[in-house]
Amino acid sequence: MLFSVDAHAIGCKLTGNEVYIRNLMGGFAALDQDSEFIAYLAVKEASDWVPPRFQKHFVARNPFVRLGWDLSCQLRRDRPQLVHVQYTAPVGCPVPVIVTVHDVSFLEHPEYFPWHRALQLRRTVAQTVRQAARILTVSEFSRKAIARAFNLDPESIVVTRDAAAGSFRPINRQTAEVWVRSRLGLSAPFVLTVGDLQPRKNQVGLVEAFAEAMRARPELPYHLVLAGKDTWFAPQVRRAAKKSGYADRIHFTGFVQDDDLVHLYNACDVFAFPSFYEGFGLPVLEAMACGRAVICSNTSALPEVADAACLLFDPYSRHEITRALLDLLLDAQLKVRMERLGLQRAGLFSWRDAAKKTLEVYHEVAGRSRSAATGSRAISMTHS
């Protein structure tokens, strides 16, 4: 079997999409020694993240070129049994498509996107879903949302849950704090959030709740660290920080690689994830895997992921975010309990399990494709 993966996200700072495909390929390499794999990459440095025995072919980084021409041409040359994409398949794709749709926020909440991006996703994802041999997603919440959006039987959509990578684990707290001091110049205790600066991540709400908590308890020494790359929405988050009255305690790191992110998770006192909408919410599990107490939203897939291992709040209520934050900052016993429950919860998710389930889909689709090709040849010979 020859399977191919559109891995252009690797090295392009595409956060969740990059983490997803990178960890799946690591699982494929460990689980399937018989099949061959091609990874289609967009940048040279991405090669370091691909298992050594995988073929590495390069496609255009520009999405219009990659999806409009380049990737289909590569697939015609390579002739794999299938291609696995995230959200959007290339135009004129010559092989069966497996698509992972992490969520349909672009349909349910287009206000979180620039209008042209929401329009593009509506069109291309709908077309990809219609042509896909199999649809994957990462949570039961997303499975139901995709089925609703595209009028599908939910049972036809396969759920392969994300997980925290093995690099996210408890490390020496002092080592982590030294790293934060050297990189950020921050020696005070801090609350951490992780995610691109964009509307649905609700960093503005967290900034306001943090300021409210510090006004309510002025003796608390905490700072707030926002780790994530800037987007078109970043100026609004930075304006909120300046208006909060606590701008000197609010820090923006920009994009952070996983090797550095593990230090941030381990050094923080509390991890907060106030997102309005998530198809999964991987930073919640990463923080738990590092032994951090978590507060997060009670919306979309987040309760499914966090279960009872964190404090949940309504992300539309600044007061609820503030109360959850203060509950953990002020109650040492509760914080320790949440840290313990979080570690246990994170251990229930595995990239190996996700890769195993995904490979089962690959072999199912490839087997169907091979049977169809054999049937077509038999019919052709009968009529010749």
Give the pLDDT confidence of 180-198 residue by residue, as tens digits.
Answer: 999 999 999 999 999 999 9
Query: By the 8 A CB rule, do 278 and 302 touch?
Result: yes
Strand-strand pairing, 134-137 and 97-100: parallel
128 Cα distance to chain centroid: 20
pLDDT of residue 247: 97
Closest listed residue to residue 252, CA positions, set 167, 190, 322, 302: 190
**DSSP-derived secondary structure letter, 298:** S
Share of the chain above pLDDT 70, in %: 96
Average pLDDT for 219-225: 98
Give the DSSP per-residue string, 71-133.
Answer: HHHHHHHH--SEEEEES-PPTT--S-EEEE----HHHH-GGGS-HHHHHHHHHHHHHHHHH-S
Average pLDDT for 281-297: 97
pLDDT band for position 224 (cuts 50, 70, 90): very high
Length of the chain: 384
Stated pTM of the model: 0.92
- Is the pLDDT confidence value at 245 over 90? yes
Q: CA 340, CA 3: separation in Å to the nearest integer?
A: 40
- Is the pLDDT confidence value at 111 over 60? yes
- Is the pLDDT confidence value at 259 over 60? yes
For 164-184, letters b (16+ CB in 10 Å) and e give bbeebbebeeeebbebbeeeb
pLDDT per residue as tens digits for the range 307-335: 999 999 999 999 999 999 999 999 999 99
- Is the pLDDT confidence value at 97 over 50? yes
pLDDT of residue 376: 46
- Is the pLDDT confidence value at 382 over 50? no
For 329-345, letters b (16+ CB in 10 Å) and e give beeeeebeebbebbbeb
pLDDT of residue 368: 77
pLDDT of residue 372: 57
Share of the chain above pLDDT 90, in %: 91
Q: CA 145, CA 39: separation in Å to the nearest integer?
A: 29
**DSSP three-state, residue 275:** coil
